[in-house]
Structure 1
């Protein structure tokens, strides 16, 4: 708070919104509003009533980047316009690290280390890879476990990812583009959704780490220090790893077994992306 921003751990069914809920709706739409995800901006407005940027839709209510309502993880939010400007500059110049863990379909090849595919995103529509009109989008990925489900023999991968850019639904779009949609992603993997929902309650996507440089706010000395916040998988996704029949893709694959157990028990190292060693599952 001293530097003018906070990091929030967003649970599922909370929306990183832009304050649109503040616009009065009709009485007839009240039921539909109650069924929508909860607005994260309202939660922060209650905590920090003196912060005007949290009410400013033009400034995105202070949020730096987005997380889908059915995803979970860490979100940066500025409490002042100065902090928002400085954080946005750091993010636009790729000085903010954003790292995720997902469970996706299929065995992601270990040699697939980067997806560099332009994404076209339009309001109210799904994003898509479009080499002609899309905006640059780069996702780095590292599979850390190859898994199967005991009852179906379906293949899955536990993957750590980092993004250079932050396009709408970037990770979900890129993984679907390379044939490995996120588990329970009805938008980008609809053909898998019905089966996925039998054992996983929502998108298996969690932002577990944020890192950023210290901000040179007025009256403070410039520092080269960097700060990070890390957050283990929430209970619902840990339960998926523990109780859904997932196991290493073959007996004796210690690498997959160790990664599965660590994330399921909240003991994963949550290291920066470069620290995750490249592994071989052979």
Structure 2
């Protein structure tokens, strides 16, 4: 292994030198401007080491590469190129090398993404990733109360022709393994409503294989799709959620009507309004959806 590691280091050094010479022939060496989008959260640089970085990717940003097409989502490569000039780090400007990204993270997800800023750093990380010395763990908020005994999901994930299509569980799919620990059971509360909403759970996940959409497909297969994931949520869950939302809206309207009636008949209703709303816990799936 040590000899192979040394050989990879030499190869990376040679590729860095070759890419550096080519980058100096490019006249435009300016940093890229970050694209702007309404309500977008910018990525942040979590760790910076020689030849490699770790980026915290917010939701709605795409870990783009050679197969990516321009779309409505913000490319994470633009953040890298706003930090590193082409002459300094040619790899992060190379579309054919997927800008140095070592792995993907689904667009609706947030989390850490490893990236090589030099070929030497990229190969050092790739060797660790491919030999399972690097472990990737995820935090997921899922529908319903998953049993604590749910510790592993083994099911073949079928590869759809279009990368953006939903993946399915099929005997003809690729072997996939997901390990998980159910950390907590929680109950949603909506602002302004004392009645609890749907049941959910928080789980920590580690994947032994890295199939596209593996976690989302496995969670759906287990009957506990992740929150705020319309593509992989079971129809039964979505119908129940819509029904709960309609009931909550009706309850809210009735409560507001009752409060307004009390306000018209009592001068002390301002205190009732305050106590009715201050003790309501807010569990926002919009905030927690970025945890997956």
Give TM-score, length-normalised by structure 1. 0.61
Structure 1 residues 50-72: Cα deviation after superposition (integer angstroms, max 9, x where no partner): 22222223322111111112211
Q: CA RMSD of the aligned region, Å?
A: 2.8
Structure 1 unmatched ranges of 5 or more: 26-32, 199-241, 247-262, 265-282
Structure 2 unmatched ranges of 5 or more: 1-47, 190-194, 246-280
Offset, 1:244: 2.6
| Pairs within 5 Å for 1:124-143 | 124-131=164-171, 133-143=172-182
Q: State the distance in 2 between where 1:244 and 1:182 align.
A: 15
Structure 1 residues 74-108: Cα deviation after superposition (integer angstroms, max 9, x where no partner): 11111112222222222122111111111101111
SS of the residue corresponding to residue 82 of structure 2 reads helix
Q: State the distance in 2 between where 1:84 and 1:193 align.
A: 42
Q: State the distance in 2 between where 1:10 and 1:135 align.
A: 27
Check the 8 A contact 1:19/1:55 in 2, yes or no: no
Q: In the alignment, what sits opposite 1:243?
A: 282
| Pairs within 5 Å for 1:94-173 | 94-122=132-160, 123-131=163-171, 133-150=172-189, 151=195, 153-173=197-217
More helix by share: 2
Q: In the alignment, what sits opposite 1:89?
A: 127
| Pairs within 5 Å for 1:16-27 | 16-18=63-65
Q: State the distance in 2 between where 1:52 and 1:121 align.
A: 32
SS of the residue corresponding to residue 100 of structure 1 reads strand
Q: Which runs of 4+ in 1 moved over 4 A?
A: none
Q: 1:116 to 1:190 in 2, by over 3 A?
A: closer
SS of the residue corresponding to residue 65 of structure 1 reads coil
Q: Give the length in aligned residue pairs.
A: 193
Check the 8 A contact 2:188/2:282 in 1, yes or no: no
Structure 1 residues 159-184: Cα deviation after superposition (integer angstroms, max 9, x where no partner): 11111111111111111011000011
Q: In the alignment, what sits opposite 1:29?
A: none
Offset, 1:245: 7.8
Q: In the alignment, what sits opposite 1:219?
A: none
Give TM-score, length-normalised by structure 2. 0.59
More strand by share: 1
Q: 1:20 to 1:118 in 2, by over 3 A?
A: closer
| Pairs within 5 Å for 1:41-80 | 41-49=77-85, 50-80=88-118
Q: State the distance in 2 between where 1:153 and 1:54 align.
A: 45
Q: State the distance in 1 between where 2:232 and 2:284 align.
A: 24
Check the 8 A contact 1:13/1:70 in 2, yes or no: yes
Offset, 1:152: 5.1
Offset, 1:190: 5.5
Check the 8 A contact 2:140/2:226 in 1, yes or no: yes
